[in-house]
Structure 1
């Protein structure tokens, strides 16, 4: 039957269920548009068969997340101890993935499942207050037992323990700078310095977040989309089991199935992570054809190729991200990926920037003949440019892929600033105004008013502590400029990430400024970036946790204590895990290619950017070979300004809403394939299409009840098995037990190997 569309105003509804019931009373087969007008921010919700189609942040707030608050305890001895113990595990795993071919953030679902198991066992097997109430001689044990085991393991205790763990894992980006020093400069940073510096970046980021809460946390449109699977799992596990029994069955069945299946692609049959029909078809072709096919279709190993048409069946790399990101973000990213294929191939095969002399994809520095650049000779033990040695060695060269990545990265930064000012400035003013006038009507924000808010001066104290904890090699004025730059850019990055689930890497801007302030000093460039870009990255992660706390009704003051404690734990764990990895895997991490288990792409990229920007005068000046990289900041701003002028005159052109074209997202994804493992791209697109295009629009009821839940369960199951395999067979316990070699698990490390995992040719 054809679906007709009518409009119906539904007002004065107390909850999402009431809104849905009202729509169903009207008709259970037609599609309805429900309009809700906030001051200066009209929104539209479409109903299909009485079920809302989740599109906007207000839809998420009203229909996807329950505002129920049972008033249960949050910060208890049990939640603190379990969170502290599991935080060590979560931070360690996140640090391990920093040195993997694909950087995967440990799923909160994996962590919360582990904590849930421990918490329910604690609740069941440890004595409670009731255990001693009828035993006169042991009544003195009653308060002690209640302190240790206060009863049912509730949602808020569970959430606090999980947030301690996820916060602890946020320090891996800062610790990466110390890994660079160990690998490329043979400099072992003092442990105290490293821990204090990591604490400084995290707390400074948290201080910024606290002051920006009215803009980046409180409003409904600040969703932090990737948190939604986590919220769905929390509420499913803890709310009325009689109403959620079906969801629980689906959840645990999915977790079990995902865990059992993950053994196959990650251990027994790794070819499934890069199924490439073109690579298989080229097995008997000439070397030239096979090398070309590797560049275009290969992608199952780090820096192999673009992975065009490859399919991955390994969920640990696909993740539920694209089951939660809004469709507007995804189709902008698809445009960017398409342009990335065209741009990278055009640069390489036209020999722009002498690309044919270097690997197709690489984050290393090279000599003109394609050999690795001897940076140790040029910068020496004092980490400063030796002009005499530089004259002998000559200037370093970059691969075409790295230049392309640097250019598109700067376009994205320029576009981020321009897009936020042009398209979001009205929203920003309105949000701040409504918070100050106490007229913000997001139901989750209103529900949190029963709890005492953390005063702004708490966050100001954090900023002061973070400032003095920052033991740095930078001069005092460079340190202050770095922090100021981070504070300036943070609101732009937070707003875009919260609205779209997409962050813009601002590292290029920070390193550019550092290169101008500290020429010839790559390590100073690293530290400048740490107190600017890493502060921004940390602020986004912590803001997402604050939003999670708002959805789950965790008291704000408890959130502050939880995140500070998690930050302190993470400072120690991340550094402790990084040290043995860098020592034991040194050769692999320094290799331009790496393996399918370990990769130095992240640290290599950090080092290359630091080196090149410390030589900004030689490489990026008007007479330098890469002058288009810094110009990219302006190039990224201009099209957005033109787009804004078009939007003011023609808000909609045909079926396209002009303001839904988000150029910084497109630019970001134009450089998405320039490092790492690319065989997962098509699979993530297909997951996004199935979830956000088909299920969300055609089956909104299933989407609302199960989409985020199933995504979180798939993450939890896959990463639980990866954790087990890491210690059982991947060597984390000291003994590696590789699966026997066969066609689906070729021995790619053999000196005689000619094929990658996907059977594209190995390019030497």
Structure 2
């Protein structure tokens, strides 16, 4: 994300070798953390990692040996391949031939000229609208998540989306933060450029366009004299809710885990140091293998740390050596809470805003230093979680730990190289779309735009905009608010023993109150229907079918759609440099695919 942002918004191209080593260092540091925390974030039974249930079922079908269960294995194997093939063929319709299938909305069809209808019900295009009452069936968007996420997590998810449907229009209608001066949904970038320029603009207070380079020095630090002249850039109201929800979720994560699972985490931590036997059936079966020595992970961490320390200077990141150390220490401290949340509920909060906030306090006035601080703190935390999940998958499937370790390291090295190459290819071939506000049905610059916006806002303008008295002081306060909200259901449960209180996860609820402020949203209601049908009806009333086929169905959905996305992107989607548009017709109209009004940005 750092290199894409530098290339798109600052015309800076980092040396390829340096970029690859930076990517590898940020990932392998996280792997070192994973090895240090595996004893109480992998081995205990409570650490479920719901997404792994998809992979376990798939591997079981693909690799189970001969025996009495072979007939059933054959049925399940045919079920998987037939569905995977069917999804692959079907995906050509909502993604290419008939996009209306991916975002069908009766309200948009009834009123094709209202901006408000587009804001609330539109959802076929990136940043078009919230997609209320949309029932599009595009499995590349729906994914396997509703098949594996626990029902309790999904319920909190639904509550968050419902609040989002209410909050975003109210903020816009009430002109909170002068929201009506800006697009209803935007990550602070516009499709409009100055004549002869490729530099994106942010918004002035009156909604006119704002060139971020007007207030930045050549080293990307804040030019305070220019800032006094031009004033601050502003954000859309929907984007403020998005950031606020993420920060509330971050604070709520720590308190939720401490209140509901703190005792279990502490017990696992003590058991590790006292040598007490771990009571988990999967773990006990793994004792026949040689475990990965602690020093292997320590060696990976030290090598990655050395590479990171070298790269922050060779890449001219502006991040001081002590900033790198502080970022990694923070990631290590937060991992038990964030890792436990992901392992137990299947939900992991987006930690980038918190680390960018902390980075702004440590290295104020430099967006570049802020991006690298986030890279080595937030991304190492993310990679640690990914490695922990893979270690749990190895435990479920009885993969020898040393084999798992070696395969992960080799895969990361190969993946780091390919990741960089593909990213550069997409940035070069789809630059205009990635810089545009709305994007296209295939490509969207939402993530990199949002990432760069946060880097500028926090890195260069943190104290001016987010400090006490700043326009968006509410955003950092979100972390403090998040520390308080999970206490409410916990106290209610302690007082009245209401079972439903245990099902509410305010970290999930808070995260999703801004989730619809970007991307394509025409499939959300279908996601909800699939999740309820899977975990409420099928699991309760067709338990046998659920056990045999539910997670396998999720694997087929992901498999078929991901094969499609890869082939489509390079064949006609533009990743290979050649975009081939499908002719317009009733299910592939010009403008928005759901027939909602095309609003000006």
- Calculate the TM-score normalised by the size of structure 2: 0.93
The residue aligned with 1:252 is: 81
What CA distance in whole angstroms lies between the structure 1 residues aligned with 2:519 and 2:430?
Answer: 17
Which residues in structure 2 correspond to 1:274-423 (within 5 Å)? 274-283=103-112, 287=113, 290-364=114-188, 365-423=202-260
Q: Is the 8 Å Cα contact of residues 204 and 466 (structure 1) preserved in structure 2? A: yes
Query: Does 1:445 pair with 2:302?
Result: no
Q: Tell me how large the CA RMSD over aligned residues is.
A: 1.5
Alpha-carbon shift at residue 667 of structure 1 (Å): 0.6
Cα distance in structure 1, aligned partners of 2:89 and 2:452: 39
- 1:548: how far off? 0.9
Q: Secondary structure at the match of 2:297?
A: helix
1:157-185 Cα offsets, whole Å, 9 max, x none, are xxxxxxxxxxxxxxxxxxx1111111111
Distance 1:726 1:634 in 2: 42
Q: For residue 673 of structure 1, what is the aligned residue in structure 2?
A: 516
Answering whether residue 26 of structure 2 is matched by residue 201 of structure 1, we say yes
Q: How does 1:473-512 map to 2 (within 5 A)?
A: 473=317, 474-512=319-357
CA shift, 1:723, in A, is 2.5
1:631, 1:394 → 2: CA distance?
A: 23
Secondary structure of residue in 2 paired with 1:225? coil
Does the 8 A contact of 1:361 with 1:401 survive in 2? yes
Q: Could you say what secondary structure the match of 2:91 adopts?
A: helix
1:627 CA displacement: 1.1
Structure 1 residue 296, shift from structure 2 partner: 0.5
Q: Pairwise mapping of residues 422-441 of structure 1 onto structure 2 (< 5 A)?
A: 422-435=259-272, 436-441=274-279
Instruction: Identify which of 441, 451, 469 aligns with 2:307.
Output: 469
Aligned pairs for 1:432-581 (under 5 A) are 432-435=269-272, 436-470=274-308, 471-472=311-312, 473=317, 474-581=319-426
Post-superposition shift, 1:660?
2.3
Task: Report the counterpart of residue 646 of structure 1 in structure 2.
Answer: 492
CA contact (8 A) 2:184 2:237 kept: yes
The 8 Å contact of residues 444 and 550 in structure 1, kept in 2 or not, is answered as yes
Question: Counterparts of 1:267 and 1:628 in 2: how far apart (Å)?
Answer: 41
What secondary structure sits across from 1:542 in the alignment? helix
Distance in 2 of aligned mates of 1:481 and 1:437 = 31
Is 2:590 aligned against 1:761?
no
Deviations, residues 651-674 of structure 1 (Å, cap 9, x unaligned): x22xx3323211111111112111
Tell whether 2:542 aligns with 1:699: yes
Equivalent-residue separation in structure 1 for 2:331 and 2:48 (angstroms) = 22
Aligned position for 1:730: 573
The residue number in structure 1 matching 2:195 is none
Q: CA offset at residue 375 of structure 1?
A: 0.8
**Aligned-pair distance for 1:389?**
1.9
Question: Could you tell which deviates more after superposition, 367-376 or 459-468?
Answer: 367-376
**2:194 corresponding residue in structure 1:** none
Q: Does the 8 Å contact 1:411/1:636 carry over to 2?
A: yes
| 8 Å CA contact 1:184, 1:376 repeated in 2 | no
Quote the offset at 1:368 in angstroms: 1.8
SS in 1 for 2:126: coil
CA contact (8 A) 2:282 2:395 kept: yes
- Matched residue, 1:183: 8
Query: Displacement of 1:438 after TM fit?
Result: 4.1
Partner of 2:214, secondary structure, is helix
Task: Give the structure 2 partner of residue 268 of structure 1.
Answer: 97
Shift of 1:434: 4.2
CA distance in 2, matches of 1:733, 1:640: 47
Q: Quote the Cα distance in structure 1 between the aligned partners of 2:519 and 2:469.
A: 31
1:415–1:663 Cα contact (<8 Å) kept? yes
Deviation at 1:440, TM superposition (A): 2.0
Greater Cα radius of gyration, structure 1 or 2 = 1
Deviation, 1:733, is 4.1
Cα deviation 1:113-156 (Å, max 9, x = unaligned): xxxxxxxxxxxxxxxxxxxxxxxxxxxxxxxxxxxxxxxxxxxx
Does the C-alpha gap of structure 1 residues 404 and 442 become closer, same or farther in structure 2, counting only changes over 3 Å?
Answer: same
| 1:729 CA displacement | 2.6
The residue that corresponds to 1:234 in the other structure is: 59
Aligned counterparts of 2:438 and 2:136: Cα–Cα separation in 1 = 20
Is contact 2:253–2:507 with CA below 8 Å preserved after alignment?
A: yes
- 2:425·2:576 contact (CA, 8 Å) conserved in 1? no
1:742 CA drift (Å): 0.7
User: Secondary structure at 1:180's aligned position in 2?
Assistant: helix
Q: For the Cα contact (< 8 Å) 1:299–1:306, is it kept in 2? A: yes
- Aligned 1:82-101 pairs, distance under 5 A: none
**In the TM superposition, what is the alpha-carbon distance from 1:645 to its structure 2 partner?**
3.1
Residue 373 of structure 1 aligns to a residue in which SS? strand
Q: Is the Cα–Cα contact under 8 Å of residues 374 and 393 in structure 1 kept in the other structure? A: no
Q: Which residue is equivalent to 1:624?
A: 470
Per-residue deviation, 1:494: 0.7
Deviation of 1:734 after TM superposition, in Å, equals: 4.0
Distance 2:206 2:133 in 1: 32
Q: What CA distance in whole angstroms lies between the structure 2 residues aligned with 1:391 and 1:703? A: 62
How far off is 1:219 after superposition?
1.5
Compute the displacement of 1:341 (Å).
Answer: 1.3
2:42 touches 2:388 (CA, 8 Å); kept in 1? yes
8 Å Cα contact 1:323/1:707 also seen in 2: yes
Change (3 A) 1:335 1:315: same
- Deviation of residue 549 (structure 1)? 0.8
Aligned-partner SS, 1:196: helix
User: Is residue 434–residue 445 contact of structure 2 (8 Å, CA) maintained in 1?
Assistant: yes
- How far residue 200 of structure 1 moved from its aligned partner, in angstroms, is 1.2
Report the TM-score when normalising by structure 1: 0.73
- 1: CA distance between counterparts of 2:572 and 2:490? 54
Deviations along 1:220-275, one digit per CA (max 9) or x if unpaired, are 22121112111111111111333412112212221222222222212211111110
Quick one: higher RCO (CA 8 Å, sep 6+), 1 or 2? 2
Deviation at 1:311, TM superposition (A): 1.1
Instruction: Give the whole-Å Cα distance in 1 for the aligned partners of 2:48 and 2:138.
Output: 28
User: 1:744 and 2:587 equivalent?
Assistant: yes
Contact 1:588/1:598, CA 8 A, preserved across alignment: yes
Cα distance in 2, alignment partners of residues 455 and 280 from structure 1: 61
CA deviation digits over 1:30-49, x for unaligned, max 9? xxxxxxxxxxxxxxxxxxxx
8 A contact 2:103–2:523 mirrored in 1: yes
Q: Secondary structure at the match of 1:531?
A: helix
Measured after TM superposition, the shift of residue 711 of structure 1 is 1.5
SS at match of 2:207: coil
